[in-house]
Amino acid sequence: MTSMPKPFIDKHLPKNELGLTVRNYEGSMSTLCAGCGHDSVTAALVQAFWELNLAPESAAKVSGIGCSSKTTAYFMGQSHGINCVHGRMPSVATGANAVNGDLHYIGISGDGDSLSIGFGQFAHAIRRNLNMLYIIENNGVYGLTKGQFSASADIGSKSKKGVANEQTPIDPCVQALTLGAGFVARAFSGDKSQLVPLVKAALMHKGFAMIDVISPCVTFNDHAGSTKSYAHTYKYYHPLVHTDFVAHAEEITGEYAEDGAMRVTLHDGGELRLRKTDSDYDPRDKAQAIETLMMNDGGGEIRTGLLYLNEDMPDMHAANHLPKTPLNQLPYEALNPGKAALASLQKRYR
C-alpha cells in the first residue's frame, strides 16, 4: 500500500457522457500489498465503468472476504455496496437482485471465497443465472492467511517455501461452463487491453457473467516455481479471442464485419466484436470451450479471452417472473395488498 491517497487532479482528463472523469470512478485508498494484481483489476474496472458512462449510483458492489473482496472499496466510492460474510456474497447479491433488478450488480470474489468456502453459493448463483458481473481475482493462494495453497493452485506449483501442490485444482471457468453460465471469460490483471473490454461486455450481458482474472499475489505467490506469478503468466499467456466492446452498435449488415470479426449484440446494449487470434476458436461452442480448457496439452499455455457466450438464456428475474419494478418504487398498496389478499393467499394452503 501507499502512504497517502492518490492526489486528485483531473483537469487534464477527458470527461465521459455524464461529465465525469475517470478519477470520479475511483474509491478509497487501497491497503493491498504494493504490486498486487487486484489493484490492477481495480484500475481496469474504473476504466471500464468510466468508458461505459455508468452512473455510480446505478451500481451495487458486493463481495465476501479475502484480499480480493476488499477491492469493492477501491472503486466507485459513490455506489451502493455490501461486504458480506465469507463466501456468502452470491446469496446477498441474489436477494438484492430480486428486489431491485435495475441496479448493475458487481460481485468481486477470490479463489478462496468462491472455490472453497463459497463454492456452493457460487454454483447456485450461476444456476439461477443471476444478472451480475462476477469477478474472481484468482491468485492460487490464501494471501490473507499468509500463503497456503488455495483450491485453484495447479498441481506442481510451488509454495514460497518450495513445497509443490499435489491436489487437483478447481478451474472456475470449467465449473461455470458446466453449471450453465452464459458468459465465461478468463483474463490477466497485467493485460488491461483484454480485461477492460471484457468487463464492459460482462456488465452489459443479461445474466451471470463470470471473469476469472489471474491476479498474482505479489507477496506469497510470485516466486520461481509458481504457476500464478507475473513471470509465469506473461510467459504462457495465450489469448484465444480478441474482444472489442462497442457501446453504440451501428446497423449490422452481416454477422461478420469486414475485418473478420464476429458481431454479437448484447441485450443490455452495445455490441461485441470478437476476433480469433490464431485458432478456430468459436466462443459460442460450449463443447469446444470445455474441451479447450480441460484438454490443455498446449504446453501449459494459459488460454484467455471470452471463452463462452450465450445471450439467449432467461435470467433469474425472467425465469421466476419477478416484478420488473424495484420494490422500493412500488406503491405501498402493491407491496401490501391488505388483509383480504392475505386471507385469500392463505386459503390456497388450507
Contact residues: another protein, CB under 8 A: 2-4, 6-9, 11-13, 33-37, 39-40, 42-43, 189-190, 192, 216, 218, 222, 230-231, 234-235
Cβ–Cβ < 8 Å for 88, 102: no
For residues 32 and 67, the answer to whether their CB atoms sit within 8 Å is yes
Least distance in Å: CB of 169 to another protein?
Answer: 23
Q: From edge to edge, which strands make up the β-sheet containing 237-239?
A: 80-83, 59-63, 104-110, 132-138, 208-214, 183-188, 302-309, 237-239
Amino acid at 287: A
C-alpha grid cell, residue 282 = 468459436
Q: Judged by CB, which is closer to another protein: 86, or 238?
A: 238
* Pairing of the two strands 237-239 and 262-265: unpaired
In the complex, the smallest distance separating the C-beta of residue 31 from another protein, rounded to whole angstroms, is 12
Nearest residue (CB) to another protein, 94 versus 227 = 227
CB of 319 to another protein, least distance (A): 38
Identity of the residue, 66 or 216, whose beta carbon is nearer to another protein in the bound complex: 216
How far, in Å, CA of 195 to CA of 188, rounded?
7
Nearer to another protein, 188 or 308 (CB): 188
Of the pair 34, 330, the CB lying nearest another protein is at 34
Q: Which CB sits closer to another protein, 192 or 263?
A: 192
**Measured from the CB of residue 191, what is the shortest distance to another protein in angstroms?**
9
Q: In angstroms, what is the minimal distance from the CB of 203 to another protein?
A: 20
Closest CA to 100 of 256, 340, 329: 329
Beta bridge partners of 104: 59
Q: How far is the CB of 110 from another protein (least distance, A)?
A: 17
User: If you compute the radius of gyration of the chain from its CA atoms, what whole number of angstroms results?
Assistant: 21
Distance CA(25)–CA(15), nearest Å, equals 11
